[in-house]
Amino acid sequence: MDGSIVERLRALLAGSTRTHSVRDLQRRGVTRIPVLGRDQLAALVEEAVAATLRDRGLLDERGEVAAEAMERAKGLLREVGRLEAEREASRRAGAEIERRVDELRREVFLAEGRLREAKVRARSDAPSPPTTVRGRIRELFAANASNAPGGIESIAAELETLLSEEVSRAVARARTEASREIEDLDRRVGRLRGALEKAESDLAARGQPAPPGIASIYRTVQGLDARERDFSRKRKLLERIFEANVRLQKETV
């Protein structure tokens, strides 16, 4: 043990000791007290520490730190450093996977929304059955022509045939395009779901504590996007809903 430790022990003892006057002690009936000098005390502590270290094989015969112990300590320090670096890397990788999971979840959510919209669009884009075309043409001719009814009927029938062929072709084209879009979106949703499942299982495999609940795809409050179709009309509708709710909340309070 080097001298600085003994000095520190002395200073520690000096700071921790209390003093009593002889008169005080006499008043309390103390006439004899055992005395141990600070140097003596420091020497005893030093001896006890050295004996313990020797017993544990950390000091050699000359009282110096054993090379083996030193090596072990250094090894342990290196190990601690390595583990800390590993933990940090693992934390970063976990955060990255979690971010990816969030991102995939968002993509799945948006793709599913687009798929739903495409399906609705596909159904709503299909025009009304061509049976109404005959009625419309008949009305048109009745209002604008003074031909005999048989003539109008034959023109209407001919026109209807032509139109319905054209409409059928247009519907077939629209349906093909719509179903292609739906198929693409279906495939995309499938792929994204697969990627999401893999990322989630990676996260679980890394032993990251699963966050309670499922995170929203939004980190901040959103609001209608100004680039959205019918932005101003939607904004007005939302304002109306909000105003009605403010009134309602006031009354509820």
Partner 1 sequence: MTAKESAPGKEAAGASKKDHGVLYVGIDLGTSRTSIAASNGVRETVASVVGYPKDVVSQKLLQRDALFGDEAIENRLALRYYRPLEKGVIKGSDGKVLPKEEADANLKAARDLLRHAISLAQPRPDELVYGVVGAPAQASIQNQKMLVEAANEVLDAVMICSEPFAVAYGLEWLDDVLVIDIGAGTVDLCRMHGTMPDEGDQITLPTAGDWVDEQIEGLLRERCGGAQFTRQMVKNVKEKHSTVRDGGASIVVEFPVRGKPTSFDVTESVREGCRRIVPPIVESLGELVASFDPEFQERLRNRVLLAGGGSQIGGLDRAIEEAMRERLGGGRVIRIEEPVYGGANGALKIAHDMPPDFWQKLV
Q: To which residue do tokens 């990251």 refer?
A: 208
CA nearest to 163, candidates 195, 189, 199, 128: 128
- Which residue lies nearer to partner 1 by CB, 59 or 104? 104
Q: How far is the CB of 149 from partner 1 (least distance, A)?
A: 21
Contact set for partner 1, span 168-207 (CB under 8 A): none
CA nearest to 137, candidates 162, 160, 154: 160
Q: How far is the CB of 205 from partner 1 (least distance, A)?
A: 21
Q: How far is the CB of 143 from partner 1 (least distance, A)?
A: 16
- Which residue lies nearer to partner 1 by CB, 77 or 238? 238
- Which residue lies nearer to partner 1 by CB, 82 or 116? 116
30 binds partner 1 (CB under 8 A): no
Structure tokens at 20: 């009593």
Among the candidate windows 46-54, 122-130, 162-170, 173-181, which touches partner 1 by CB under 8 A?
122-130
Q: How far is the CB of 250 from partner 1 (least distance, A)?
A: 10
Residue of the chain from 112, 153, 186, 200 that contacts partner 1 (CB under 8 A): 112
Contact set for partner 1, span 209-248 (CB under 8 A): 211-224, 228-230, 233-242, 244-246, 248
- Which residue lies nearer to partner 1 by CB, 92 or 116? 116
99 binds partner 1 (CB under 8 A): no
Q: How far is the CB of 229 from partner 1 (least distance, A)?
A: 7
Q: How far is the CB of 207 from partner 1 (least distance, A)?
A: 20
Q: Which residues lie near partner 1 (CB under 8 A)?
A: 105, 108-109, 112, 116-117, 119-120, 123-124, 128, 132, 211-224, 228-230, 233-242, 244-246, 248-249, 251-252
